[in-house]
Amino acid sequence: MQKRKLGNSGLEVSAIGLGCMGMSFSYGPPKDKQEMIALMRTAVERGVTFFDTAEVYGPFINEELVGEALAPLRDQVVIATKFGFDTSVDPRAMKGSGPVLNSRPEHIKDVAEASLKRLRTDVIDLFYQHRVDPDVPIEDVAGAVKELIQAGKVKHFGLSEAGIQTVRRAHAIQPVAALQNEYSLWWRRPEDDILPTLEELGIGLVAYSPLGKGFLTGKIDESTTFDSTDFRTTLPRFTPEARKVNQALVDLLGTIAAEKRSTPAQIALAWLLAQKPWIVPIPGTTRLERLDENNGAVAIELTATDLSDIETAAAKITVEGARYPERLEQMTNR
């Protein structure tokens, strides 16, 4: 597995990380605990060193799972987790009026202490603000994380789905190692202003949902049914009608994959890796064969001609449907 550095922070991670959320949250019922522990430990054996979780995934159970799985391998891995939600609120509120934000400095420090215990570690490698809290100045947030870094409880500061002015203000207080944003062939908005800003400031991009929440793998079509607890049932982009239209993008990936003797998922990840050397995708999976498939993307070389052909073909495809319901989209790019 190749390594990449997230911007100028010095934080080096595997070129492809592992998003752990779906093991216990959002994509249907939680998966078997022992199977997921085995998967994460096998991922380390395969060279994956970058694992992503958050207190709100569950809440709490995903951090506990990651902590148990990686405790024996702690010196070999980078663990990223997140703060920023009020987890004292009934999680069912996440599907109602929307999640409740809380990035007050005292809350950030409480979350850090609780996450350290669940993760069975004495330091958090990368601590993201999960979503920008409009009620708390970002300078206060960055200052709180700076104090945690000075106390040796956190190594690096990150933001997620923040707008460029917020990134700049935070970075001026405490250098931001990474911005975690959705980025893939079917969500390319970061290219407008986020990527140039990150390049200017020397900040890495961690791309979540690099496979379009599973859609770009080619394993989902308009007839696919999802478990009632799968949050994709709430996403406009995943209505049967939208999936039918969006199949054109998967077909494009499939055509290129056939030429490269690979899979649509591998082409989608290889495309991301080819955009910038400081971009690290974190696809999630609960199956070993998919882990190996995703990791195989690092060996696929897309030439300048390949990338140009993808660009030309993708430009003719209009992706149908918003990525989030309006209440959740409003929490991004602040």
Q: What are phi and psi of 13, to 5 degrees?
A: -140, 170
Q: What are phi and psi of 321, to 5 degrees?
A: 95, 140
Q: Is the peptide bond before 59 cis (omega within 30 degrees of 0)?
A: yes
| Active-site amino acid positions | 57
Q: What are phi and psi of 166, to 5 degrees?
A: -65, -40
Query: Which residues have a Cβ under 8 Å from the Cβ of 45 and sit 6 or more positions away?
Result: none
CA distance 16 to 272: 10
Residue 34's identity, in one-letter code, is Q
Is beta strand 3-5 parallel, antiparallel or unpaired with respect to 12-14? antiparallel
CA distance 170 to 138: 6
The Cα-based distances of 37 to 31, 47, 72, 119, 134 in angstroms read: 10, 16, 11, 13, 37
